[in-house]
Structure 1
């Protein structure tokens, strides 16, 4: 996922499904400089992770961009 798309998902009024591997996540913030996002796992926990944007996808089964 690119920075522009990730930022647009954050401000969107729509619920846009985003996945980290097979886990649904909410994008909490995006760092353009490091190309990372802080995400909140939607698995019932309070766990957050900072991940590379390239690890995120809107379609659960989309291939990872190399």
Structure 2
């Protein structure tokens, strides 16, 4: 990968991360109280961790094919 491709990939990843985190923040800001904000944040963390576990499992299954 040359430097131009690396920069383009970095820009895509940065844009995606910014959009996703902005969406999560908007969801948290919609919550009516500190307690529900924390509960929603924990839900996001759990869902992200579950997705990571799914991706890891899929990757391991691909390696064994």
Structure 2 length-normalised TM? 0.23
Structure 1 length-normalised TM? 0.23
Task: Work out which of the two has the higher radius of gyration on C-alpha atoms and give 1 or 2.
Answer: 2
User: Relative contact order (C-alpha < 8 Å, sep 6+): which is higher?
Assistant: 1
